[in-house]
């Protein structure tokens, strides 16, 4: 075996180029690079010269000439020029260079990254709906420029689009600008989440940050909270027909609907005059109707709502009209609006229709509605639970599982089942609040049966307790007021009326109670004013209508006006038995036996057999007397 060659004798021999030529080639490359490097400042200087000219033409509006100069700077002098590439990207849209817009921007971003380049690249990616690409672009931009507020603000927007709430809040707060803070309030309002409302500083009315104020109002409105008084539109700077003013009016309208005042109504009227072109559609008209209704002018509120042209196409105002009329007891008209709302697309109105038919005691039609709601609603949803409760009461096999079922039984079945059964169920209710609510229903039932003695026993049997809610206390106070009227304790009612706590609908009865009490005491001065105020505040209530008719019939001897009052009530609420009974009697007094007979047929259809017999005991003698007067057997007298 041959001995191996020593290491120092091993060499590489060139095949194509002699090895020694490599040295000369390396020296040549070095010289070329050195020469090019010395020329680079010259090329950059030339590029800067053309860029300066291009900038001048750009700011003078000569975009085409500027674009040509930027291209010279880029193509013939400095291909990697950040400024030239960035401006060419900016000018590319709408020209033959449009296809290179992103390429120019990418070169600018790689050569010399700036915050503006990152922002523009992200904006392009967002326009192409490449949200994740834009997100990573802005993340890199914020990493390189951590103190740049606009990048942090835009990155927060990208996190919002991608539904990453924690990062959205973090980068809005990191941006630290007024714009970012405004966006943060808008994000909170949109998410309907819990936000640190106590820590939000509400700008004073003179503050020019109207976007921030509008977003704050939206946030408070979304959370069902009223804006602080500091944001009220009291100054001339805010009294403008713009988004901020309307947002404030809307917030106040939804959150203060039980405490309207003249200033707010005047503000709505002023806004509607300023918004003569109806920029906000009929929303201000809805707010005006809202202010009338909850401000105690119920009739004006319903009329204002019904007069809105949007009622023909929008289910929302139809639903509201149905609920308002149902609350006032005008069930027949309420059903018309609720059915129309369903036709227009609001299926929630089916739930309200089921409640209204149950309140009307029209159980035959209410039962299939509750069954449909139970089938359509998800298990354990509020509507499904409510439908189950109602079906336990309305079905043939009644089942009462708890105190709420017992209260519902008393409320809906009172007068439809033996009185002893209702009384037994009432006495088994243990919950103080529900027992109080049921007691109010029992008292009103006995008063309609002309049995104030039993109503008094119910009231006196209630234990004094603070475990009742405001509306439950209001209901029992209302029944107590009716009891004092039925027992003719007018002075006591006038003395106690200021101390009786009423809420919502019952509050509108104060003028009625005062009018009836003063009429009972024989006071004539100002009596008509009290009755008219009562009619305005509760125009559809059967007690108000009957009380006003009684005033016209007995105090002023104006039977015709009494008849017209009840006729209007029957028109809006044809299912009210008490109104139909009174209408039949007044129609006879007016000599309108045809209308009297129609009303009698309605009473026969709606009333129980016992109630119908009691009515006929009063109706038949008056009908015979009327016929006798027609025959000439008796003088024609009006009672």
180 lies in some domain: no
293-297, 365-369, 513-517: which has the minimum mean pLDDT? 293-297
Range of the domain at 72: 1-112
Final residue of a structural domain among 471, 505, 538: 538
Task: Give domain status of residue 570, yes or no.
Answer: yes
When mean pLDDT is compared over 15-29, 254-268, 567-581, the highest value belongs to: 567-581
3 state SS of 331:
helix
Give the whole-angstrom CA distance, residue 398 versus residue 390. 10
Write the pLDDT tens digit of every residue in 199-237: 555 555 445 666 666 677 767 766 666 666 555 554 444
Classify residue 418 as left (phi > 0), alpha (psi -120 to 50) or beta.
beta
As a whole number of angstroms, the distance between CA 356 and CA 335 comes to 7
Residue at 463 is within a domain:
no
Claim to verify: residue 554 and residue 598 sit in the same structural domain: yes
Q: pLDDT of 538-549, one tens digit each?
A: 788 787 788 788
Residue 2 shares a structural domain with residue 98 = yes
Chosen domain end from 538, 572, 605: 538
511 lies in the same domain as 611: no
In a domain, 70, yes or no: yes
Q: Do you know the residue count of the chain?
A: 639
pLDDT of residue 265: 65
Q: Does one domain contain both 512 and 603?
A: no
Question: Are 534 and 551 in a shared domain?
Answer: no
In angstroms, what CA-CA distances link 1 with 4, 10, 11, 191, 477? 9, 19, 22, 87, 125
User: What ranges in 128-177 are assigned the alpha helix state H?
Assistant: 131-144, 149-161, 165-175
Distance of CA 433 to the CA centre of its chain: 29
Taking the whole predicted model, whether its pTM rises above 0.75 is answered as no
The CATH number that applies at residue 52 is 1.25.40
Please indicate, yes or no, whether residues 587 and 500 belong to a single structural domain of this protein. Answer: no
- Mean pLDDT computed over every residue of the chain: 77
For residues 558 and 534, state if they share a domain. no
pLDDT at residue 52, rounded to an integer: 72
Q: What integer pLDDT is reported at residue 459 of this predicted model? A: 92
- Asked if residue 175 has pLDDT above 50, the reply is yes
Over residues 38-76, the pLDDT tens digits come to 445 655 666 666 667 667 776 777 767 777 667 666 666
Asked if residues 432 and 468 have their Cβ atoms less than 8 Å apart, the reply is yes
Residue 61 tokens read as: 């509006």
The closest alpha carbon to 318, from 294, 292, 331, 336, belongs to 336
In degrees, to the nearest 5, what angle opens at C-alpha 607 toward C-alphas 604 and 609?
80
On whether both 631 and 552 belong to a single domain, the answer is yes
Write down the pLDDT at residue 23. 53
For 187-196, what is the mean pLDDT?
A: 64
209: region left, alpha or beta (phi > 0 left; psi from -120 to 50 alpha) = beta
The listed range with the strongest mean pLDDT (141-145, 394-398, 615-619) is 615-619
Q: Into how many domains does the chain fold? A: 3
Q: Quote the tokens at residue 308.
A: 């809105």
> Is residue 301 pLDDT above 70, yes or no?
yes
Average pLDDT over residues 430-457: 91
Domain final position from 73, 88, 112: 112
Same domain membership, residue 100 and residue 15: yes
388 in a structural domain: no
Question: What six digits make up the tokens of 206?
Answer: 């003179």
* CB-neighbour burial class of residue 151 (10 A; exposed 0-12, middle 13-18, buried 19+): buried
- Residues 48, 96, single domain; the answer is yes
Are 14 and 83 in a shared domain?
Answer: yes
pLDDT at 453 over 90: yes
Give domain status of residue 22, yes or no.
yes
Query: Do residues 515 and 568 share a domain?
Result: no
Residue 495 binned pLDDT confidence (cut-offs 50, 70, 90): very high
pLDDT recorded at residue 395: 78
Q: At what angle do helices 178-191 and 149-161 cross, to 10 degrees?
A: 10
Does residue 184 lie within any of the structural domains?
no
Our CA angle for 218, 504, 507, nearest 5°, is 135
User: Using 50, 70 and 90 to split pLDDT, how confident is the model at 638?
Assistant: very low
Least confident of 349-363, 527-541, 581-595, 623-637: 623-637
């Amino acid at each position: 075996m041959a001995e191996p060659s020593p290491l120092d004798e091993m060499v590489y021999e060139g095949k194509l180029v002699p090895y020694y030529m490599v040295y000369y080639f390396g020296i040549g490359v070095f010289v070329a690079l050195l020469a090019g490097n010395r020329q680079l400042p010259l090329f950059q200087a030339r590029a800067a010269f053309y860029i300066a000219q291009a900038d001048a033409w750009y700011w003078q509006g000569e975009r085409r000439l500027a674009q040509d100069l930027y291209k010279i700077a880029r193509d013939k002098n400095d291909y990697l020029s950040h400024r030239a590439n960035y401006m060419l990207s900016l000018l590319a849209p709408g020209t033959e260079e449009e296809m290179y817009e992103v390429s120019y921007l990418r070169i600018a971003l790689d050569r010399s990254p700036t915050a503006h380049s990152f922002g523009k690249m992200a904006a392009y990616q967002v326009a192409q709906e490449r949200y994740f690409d834009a997100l990573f672009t802005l993340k890199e931009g914020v990493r390189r420029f951590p103190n740049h507020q606009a990048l942090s603000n835009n990155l927060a927007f990208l996190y919002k689009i991608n539904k990453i709430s924690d990062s959205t809040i973090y980068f809005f707060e990191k941006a630290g600008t007024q714009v970012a803070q405004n966006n943060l309030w808008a994000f909170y309002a949109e998410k309907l989440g819990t936000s640190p409302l106590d820590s939000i500083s509400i700008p004073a009315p003179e503050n020019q940050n109207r976007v921030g104020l509008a977003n704050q109002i939206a946030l408070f409105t979304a959370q069902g909270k009223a804006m602080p008084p500091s944001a009220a539109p009291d100054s001339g700077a805010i009294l403008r027909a713009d988004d901020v003013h309307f947002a404030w009016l809307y917030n106040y309208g939804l959150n203060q609907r039980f405490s309207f005042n003249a200033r707010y109504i005047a503000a709505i009227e002023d806004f509607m005059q300023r918004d003569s072109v109806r920029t906000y559609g009929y929303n201000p008209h809805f707010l005006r109707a809202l202010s009338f209704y909850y401000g105690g002018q119920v009739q004006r509120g319903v009329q204002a709502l019904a007069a809105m042209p949007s009622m023909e196409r929008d289910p929302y105002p139809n639903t509201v009209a149905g609920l308002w009329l149902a609350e006032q007891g005008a069930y027949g008209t309420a059903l018309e609006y609720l059915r129309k709302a369903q036709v227009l697309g609001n299926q929630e109105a089916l739930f309200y229709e089921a409640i209204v038919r149950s309140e009307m005691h029209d159980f035959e039609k209410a039962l299939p509605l509750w069954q449909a709601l139970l089938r359509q609603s998800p298990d354990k949803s509020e509507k499904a639970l409510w439908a189950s409760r109602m079906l336990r009461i309305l079905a043939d096999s009644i089942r009462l599982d708890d105190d709420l079922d017992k209260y519902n039984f008393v409320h809906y079945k009172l007068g439809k089942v033996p009185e002893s059964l209702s009384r037994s169920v009432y006495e088994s209710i243990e919950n103080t609040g529900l027992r109080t609510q049921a007691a109010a229903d029992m008292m009103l039932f006995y008063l309609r049966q002309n049995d104030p003695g039993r109503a008094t026993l119910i009231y006196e049997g209630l234990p004094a307790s603070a475990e009742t809610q405001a509306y439950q206390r209001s209901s029992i106070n209302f029944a107590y007021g009716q009891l004092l009227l039925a027992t003719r304790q007018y002075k006591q009612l006038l003395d106690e009326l200021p101390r009786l706590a009423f809420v919502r609908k019952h509050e509108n009865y104060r003028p009625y109670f005062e009018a009836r009490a003063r009429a009972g005491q024989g006071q004539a001065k100002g009596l008509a004013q009290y009755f008219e105020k009562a009619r305005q505040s509760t125009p559809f209530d059967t007690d108000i209508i009957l009380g006003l008719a009684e005033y016209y019939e007995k105090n002023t001897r104006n039977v015709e006006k009494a008849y017209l009052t009840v006729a209007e009530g029957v028109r809006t609420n044809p299912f009210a038995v008490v109104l139909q009974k009174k209408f039949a009697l007044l129609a006879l007094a007016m000599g309108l036996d045809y209308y009297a007979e129609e009303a009698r047929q309605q009473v026969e259809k709606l009333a129980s057999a016992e109630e119908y017999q009691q009515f006929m005991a009063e109706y038949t003698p008056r009908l015979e007397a009327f016929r006798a007067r027609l025959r000439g057997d008796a003088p024609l007298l009006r009672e």
